């Protein structure tokens, strides 16, 4: 029986951007190695995802500090913010995203977007029109809770008026599917052949694996 509600991840599920090209550009702008930038993003992920940093500028400063640039010049921060905005403009929906959303809508399903993200993702969500496409949009930096914490799934369920037992969650990360399953939500682990998520792919851990959103319908 089809689910009454679908909770869908954003990056590498609905949409994709070339994070590796962006991190290489950022490293060049900052004068550090790509490995250092990757470390900066990794060490600040929790704070960026939960809104601890109050602005995009503050977030960039902390990423740079963790990457070995503790006191970046204001001009450098502004150049990086401009480069980040250009990168965000390049984030595009996968070809199966809109058709799947339309098919689920036609079926009568309620839809929630559930993303671990920082400030820059709000502009992407607005540009892609997700507030109109989804019944609720749950962004971790706005909520202050990130996957796999129970609170973010609960906020999405509340937003679509569904119980865990009638919902299905789709994500490209095993740990985030684990968090949904712990609440009794059915899961699908999406592993797109072309995706290269920064977190990588982990063992499915018993989650049913799909290669495209079209498999939901």
Q: CB neighbours (10 Å) of residue 125?
A: 21
Burial class (CB in 10 A: 0-12, 13-18, 19+), 5: buried
Q: By percentage, how much of the chain surpasses pLDDT 70?
A: 100
Q: Do residue 66 and residue 128 come from a single domain?
A: no
64 has pLDDT over 90: yes
Q: Note whether 84 and 120 are same-domain residues.
A: no
Q: Which of 33, 55, 89 is the last residue of a domain?
A: 89
Identify the pLDDT of residue 19. 87
Q: Is 144 left (phi over 0), alpha (psi -120 to 50) or beta?
A: left
The region of weakest confidence among 2-6, 112-116, 163-167, 199-203 is 199-203
Interval 60-65 mean pLDDT:
96
Q: Are residues 206 and 132 in the same domain?
A: yes
- In the chain, which residue ranges form alpha helices assigned H by DSSP? 19-30, 34-49, 56-66, 74-89, 97-107, 120-128, 130-133, 140-143, 150-160, 174-181
| Alpha-carbon gap, residue 215 to 217, rounded angstroms | 5
**Which of 8-12, 18-22, 152-156 bottoms out in mean pLDDT, i.e. has the lowest?**
18-22
| pLDDT score recorded for residue 200 | 85
Q: Which of 89, 111, 146 is the last residue of a domain?
A: 89
Residues 197 and 108 in one domain: yes
Phi-psi region of 165 (alpha: psi -120 to 50; beta: other; left: phi over 0): alpha
Which of 89, 117, 140 represents a domain boundary (last residue)? 89
Largest Cα separation within the chain, whole Å, is 57
Residues 210 and 106 in one domain: yes
CA–CA gap between residue 88 and residue 80 (Å, rounded): 12
User: Which domain does 142 fall in, by range?
Assistant: 5-16+92-216
Q: Are residues 155 and 59 in the same domain?
A: no
Q: Residue 208 above 90 pLDDT?
A: yes
Distance CA 110, CA 160 (A): 6
**What CATH number is given to the structural domain containing 120?**
3.40.50.1000
- Residue 107 tokens, joined: 């079926």
Is residue 6 within 8 A of residue 216, CB to CB? The reply is yes
pLDDT at 83: 92
Tens of pLDDT along 126-184? 999 999 999 999 999 999 999 999 999 999 999 999 999 999 999 999 999 999 999 99
* Domain identity same for 10 and 23: no
* pLDDT band at residue 109 using 50, 70 and 90 as cut-offs: very high
Please report the pLDDT score of residue 127 as a whole number: 96
Q: What is the pTM of this model?
A: 0.95
Could you tell me if 46 and 145 lie in one domain? Answer: no
Q: What is the pLDDT of residue 164?
A: 98
127 and 70 together in one domain: no
Q: Residue 175: its pLDDT value, please?
A: 97
DSSP 204: -
* Number of domains into which the chain is organized: 2
> Is the domain of 38 the same as that of 103?
no
Q: Please tell me the predicted confidence (pLDDT) of residue 103.
A: 98
pLDDT, averaged across the chain: 96
Residue 1 has pLDDT above 80, yes or no: no
Residues 155, 188 share a domain: yes
Give the contacts of 39 (CB within 8 A, at least 6 positions apart).
66, 67
Evaluate if residue 7 carries a pLDDT over 80.
Answer: yes
Same domain, residue pair 205 and 126: yes
pLDDT (0 to 100) of residue 58: 96
Average pLDDT over residues 21-30: 92
């Amino acid at each position: 029986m089809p689910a009454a509600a679908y909770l869908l991840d954003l990056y590498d599920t609905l949409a994709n951007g070339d994070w590796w090209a962006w991190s290489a550009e950022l490293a060049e702008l900052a004068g550090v190695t790509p490995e250092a930038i990757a470390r900066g993003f990794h060490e600040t992920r929790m704070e960026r995802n939960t809104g601890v940093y109050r602005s995009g500028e503050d977030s960039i400063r902390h990423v740079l500090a963790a990457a070995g640039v503790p006191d970046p010049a204001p001009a450098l921060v502004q150049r990086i913010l401009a480069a980040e905005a250009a990168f965000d403009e390049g984030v595009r929906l996968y070809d199966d995203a809109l058709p799947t959303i339309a098919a689920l809508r036609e079926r009568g399903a309620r839809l929630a977007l559930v993303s671990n993200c920082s400030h820059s993702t709000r502009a992407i969500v607005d540009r892609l029109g997700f507030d109109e496409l989804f019944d609720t949009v749950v962004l971790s930096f706005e909520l202050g809770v990130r996957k796999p914490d129970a609170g973010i799934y609960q906020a999405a369920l509340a937003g679509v008026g569904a119980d865990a037992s009638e919902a299905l969650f789709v994500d490209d990360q095993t740990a985030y599917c684990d968090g949904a399953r712990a609440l009794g939500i059915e899961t699908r682990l999406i592993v797109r052949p072309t995706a290269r998520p920064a977190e990588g792919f982990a063992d499915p851990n018993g989650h049913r694996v799909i290669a495209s959103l079209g498999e939901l319908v």
